[in-house]
Structure 1
Amino acid sequence: MNSMRRFLVISVLSALMLVNFIAALHGYRSSMLEAESLFDQKLSEMAAQYAVIPLTGSVPPPAPDDQQMVFQIFSQEGRLLWRSAHAPVDLISDEPGFSEHNFNDYRWRTLSYLNKDNGRRVVVAERVDQRYRLAESVILESIVPVVLVLPVAGILIWLIIGHGLNSLGVLAGILRRKNPDDFGAIKVDGAPEELMPVINSVNAMLGRLNASFERERRFSADAAHELRTPISAIKMHLHNVREELPGGSDSLRSLTKDVDRLAHLVEQMLLLHRTTPDHYPAKFEPISLPSLARELIAERYADFAAKDQSIELVGEAVTVDGDRFALGILVQNLLNNASKYTQQQGRIEVRVERRADGVWLTVADNGPGINEVAQLRVFERFYRLGGDRHSSGVSGCGLGLSIVEHIAELHGAKIMMAKGLDDGPGLAVSIIFPLPPSTATSSELGIKVKPINSAKRYSGQGGKQ
């Protein structure tokens, strides 16, 4: 049973019902014995009354009865003096005291009484079934309220246990409202003794988490300094070596490429850590996705031009609530992947649109694409399709989409992957942001960048050039 409250209520009610049942059974038996005693006392009083009742005439007519209680009066000589209408003519019982007999199709409780003063024998009898019916009706009237009160008791127990468990709800609320970077000890005012071990254990765990995250923060800061500095020095020495070797060499070019890859790996690892939702101190503000994409496309123009690729920005001028720095990294990584893995003279499209389920930012290309099996793994850290020997021949570290996933999670967005542009297998990566409270829309954008043309590539109005 998953609910502690439901378990306690059912357990207490079960115990209460068991105790009530045992008590009712004992009460029933005691009450039946008491009722038997009262009914027998009634028969004794009736027999004593008939033993001295004056009788006129030799044989009086049968006395009326209610068919549930009968009597007979016999003389000392054994002659029937008087009887009730439904009593038999023959003597019912000549045994002194109480006994049970069958006649008139019923079982009867009988009392045979002999009056020693006048020699009369009086036999009175009462139907056993009527006795039990009367006794049970009286007893059940006292037991039924106990049974009927069980639902009321259940409701009261439910409320009382709920009140007793309020401290758990308070503790859950405090933990729910805690910021991801808040590892301070929690305190629940008026917490019962039974809850204190839980609170102390949670506080101890928060202390250990705080120490762990502090070590990780210090490691990131140290790594940023200790790794960037020697890489920058190596790059400077490589530049000097290239100057000293006018013709260059294959080894030098390979070394330069590997150092650039190492620098990229360090930067991506640091970005991966910084953009983790639990660590990143996001500052949300309204961000225009088309404007942000336009800026980043302009910054990366040289990369598109180097591969003679065309890029198009289309869609609606919509805004989302987000962190500018994190969203910039997200768009930049998507553009990097699209440019790196799309062939020479390939085509890339960035689309921003508002739909019923959110704001869609899609970066699509007509490159080689990714099969459905690999799409399930591309967000794993350090995973690259084909490994380091990727068919594109470009270097990478397999962290770009992991960073994209972190930033999407930070913004409460979803990620979808689909087939790319129509003129190739391609890949389309869509980030679906939640709809902001009010999304301003404007006319359709249509920004096309063809690097092989003149340097005037963007209009201030966002129109086509």
Structure 2
Amino acid sequence: MTSLRRFLIISVLSALMLVNFIAALHGYRSSMLEAENLFDQKLSEMAAQFAAMPLPNVESPPSADDEQMVFQIFSGEGKLLWRSVHAPAQIISEVPGFGEHNFNDYRWRTLSYLNPNSGRRVVVAERVDQRYRLAESVILESVVPVVLVLPVAGILIWLIIGHGLSSLGVLAGILRRKSPDDFGAIRVDGAPVELLPVIQSVNSMLSRLSASFERERRFSADAAHELRTPISAIKMHLHNVRDELPNGSDSLRSLTKDVDRLAHLVEQMLLLHRTTPDHYPAKFEKISLRSLARDAIAERYADCAAKQQTIELAGDAVTVDGDRFALGILLQNLVNNASKYTQQGGRIELRTEVKTSEVWLTVADNGPGISAEAKSRVFERFYRLGGDRHSSGASGCGLGLSIVEHIAELHGAKIVMKSGLQSRGLAVSIVFPASLRSDKALTPNAKAKKALGTSREGEQA
């Protein structure tokens, strides 16, 4: 059943129509029997009047009368004394009492009455079809309103059921407006008794979810945080051990690399937890993406210089409403990934631009790129292309793009992945919706000045 309201209305209307039909049928039959009795009583009264009235002194039948009702009057010896124009000359019924006979091409209800005082026999007859027509017209006048009132009843039932189910709509609205991190108990004022078990079950489920999320949050945050201390201690001991081991020890170098990788993993886990849209305390403000991109380049410049890579900043100076810390982490992860997986002497480009009112932030490189199949998995946690045996030899934990996805979701942005520079490598674009663009109200002159200023910039490292 797709609609509870539709089910209730159809069921109630069907039951109402069935009851009305049965009641109308019973009423019709009862009314027809009552009408038959009334018509028969009328025939009895007419027969008694004819039997008691004096006969006219005429030898021919009376003038034309109502052809729907006829009469005959016979003497005690069976001689026809008087009849109506449409009555036959022969006696219609010799059997005393009511009966039905055919004559003049119609079916007639007859009554043969014998007056015990005068010995006179009176036969009166009435057409059956006229009796039924008259009775049905009277009965239908009382049945038709019952049928016509059904649409009105349907509208009233619709409104009544809608009012009765309004609490469900209120409950659905409360649940729909709840934020993802709101696990507080819900309350519906004036909720009917039947809805209380549902509300109690939902509140119980919210309570269990809140406890579950809190346990997961504490575990991931506490585990990553607690790991910082022993890692820092290990780094300190490694620094002290360098003086005791021969210069260039391979074991020491490998151990240092692994500890750095572990520290990076812990930091990424903390960032992944902190940037989860459900509980990240975002503080949106007007941010220049170009300025933020310049800071990200400065942050990662040493890594790019170590690999003799060229990193550029191009495009327009655009401003968006966003969280500065989160967008900074997003850019650092994208630039770090591009530098890490681009070959020695490669090229990386950061571009900010406006396309059809949307703001595009793109980090592109001319490295090896990734396959179409891998693009669908790179946002999975701890997934690394090629695992630890990637051709670049770069270490990683597979959380960078998961963090990027969290931050994009926090800003309502979408992620587009295409081929990178010179149709090689990878280009990751963060597309911010037009609603986040904070420079929409710029005048044409202001935009022209911005474009002129942008065209003069040629930042290259």
TM-score by length of 1: 0.89
Pick closer, same or farther for the CA change 1:213–1:50 going to 2, 3 Å: same
2:240 maps to a residue whose letter is N
For 2:287 and 2:104, the matched residues in 1 are separated by 100
Conservation of the 8 A alpha-carbon contact between 2:353 and 2:361: yes
Tell me, what secondary structure is at the counterpart of 1:92? coil
Pick closer, same or farther for the CA change 1:20–1:256 going to 2, 3 Å: same
1:431 maps to a residue whose letter is I
Following superposition, the deviation at residue 287 of structure 1 comes to 2.2
CA deviation vs aligned residue, 1:319-367 (integer Å, no higher than 9, x gap): 2222211121122212222221222222222222223363222222222
Work out whether 1:331 is the aligned partner of 2:331. yes
**Equivalence for 1:248:** 248
Pick closer, same or farther for the CA change 1:133–1:430 going to 2, 3 Å: farther
Pick closer, same or farther for the CA change 1:250–1:62 going to 2, 3 Å: farther
Conservation of the 8 A alpha-carbon contact between 1:24 and 1:143: yes
Give the alignment's Cα RMSD to 1 decimal. Answer: 2.3
**Equivalence for 2:425:** 426
For 1:448 and 1:310, the matched residues in 2 are separated by 13
**Equivalence for 1:321:** 321
Tell me, what secondary structure is at the counterpart of 2:247? coil
For 1:272 and 1:206, the matched residues in 2 are separated by 24
For 1:426 and 1:185, the matched residues in 2 are separated by 50
2:123 maps to a residue whose letter is V
Greater mean deviation of Cα atoms: 431-440 or 359-368 = 431-440
**Equivalence for 1:463:** none
Following superposition, the deviation at residue 158 of structure 1 comes to 2.0
Tell me, what secondary structure is at the counterpart of 2:187? coil
Conservation of the 8 A alpha-carbon contact between 1:319 and 1:436: no
1:394 maps to a residue whose letter is A
**Equivalence for 2:131:** 131
Pick closer, same or farther for the CA change 1:79–1:263 going to 2, 3 Å: same
Pick closer, same or farther for the CA change 1:122–1:366 going to 2, 3 Å: farther
Tell me, what secondary structure is at the counterpart of 1:44? helix
Note the 1:59-458 alignment, pairs <5 A: 59-245=59-245, 247-356=247-356, 358-421=358-421, 423-436=422-435, 439-440=439-440, 442=447, 443-444=450-451, 445=454, 448-451=458-461
Counting helix residues as a fraction of each chain, which structure ranks higher? 2
1:359 maps to a residue whose letter is V
Following superposition, the deviation at residue 233 of structure 1 comes to 1.8
2:429 maps to a residue whose letter is S
1:2 maps to a residue whose letter is T
Following superposition, the deviation at residue 37 of structure 1 comes to 0.9
For 1:208 and 1:295, the matched residues in 2 are separated by 43
For 2:326 and 2:362, the matched residues in 1 are separated by 17
For 1:178 and 1:252, the matched residues in 2 are separated by 53
For 1:62 and 1:332, the matched residues in 2 are separated by 120
CA deviation vs aligned residue, 1:214-244 (integer Å, no higher than 9, x gap): 3333324422331111112222222333344
Conservation of the 8 A alpha-carbon contact between 1:242 and 1:248: no
Following superposition, the deviation at residue 258 of structure 1 comes to 1.7
Following superposition, the deviation at residue 392 of structure 1 comes to 2.0
Structure 1 residue runs of 4+, over 6 Å off? none
Conservation of the 8 A alpha-carbon contact between 1:265 and 1:397: yes
For 1:424 and 1:237, the matched residues in 2 are separated by 47
For 1:355 and 1:70, the matched residues in 2 are separated by 98
2:36 maps to a residue whose letter is E
1:326 maps to a residue whose letter is A
TM-score by length of 2: 0.90
1:429 maps to a residue whose letter is V
Following superposition, the deviation at residue 74 of structure 1 comes to 2.7
For 1:358 and 1:40, the matched residues in 2 are separated by 90
Greater mean deviation of Cα atoms: 436-445 or 74-83 = 436-445
CA deviation vs aligned residue, 1:131-163 (integer Å, no higher than 9, x gap): 222222222211221222222222222222222
Tell me, what secondary structure is at the counterpart of 1:300? helix
Pick closer, same or farther for the CA change 1:318–1:112 going to 2, 3 Å: farther
Conservation of the 8 A alpha-carbon contact between 1:322 and 1:411: yes
Following superposition, the deviation at residue 391 of structure 1 comes to 2.0
Following superposition, the deviation at residue 248 of structure 1 comes to 1.0
Pick closer, same or farther for the CA change 1:328–1:48 going to 2, 3 Å: same
For 1:84 and 1:315, the matched residues in 2 are separated by 113
Pick closer, same or farther for the CA change 1:45–1:221 going to 2, 3 Å: same
**Equivalence for 2:54:** 54
For 2:98 and 2:39, the matched residues in 1 are separated by 12
Pick closer, same or farther for the CA change 1:57–1:375 going to 2, 3 Å: same
Q: How many equivalent residue pairs?
A: 450
Following superposition, the deviation at residue 67 of structure 1 comes to 3.4
Mark the runs of 5 or more structure 2 residues left unpaired by the alignment.
Answer: none
Following superposition, the deviation at residue 34 of structure 1 comes to 0.8
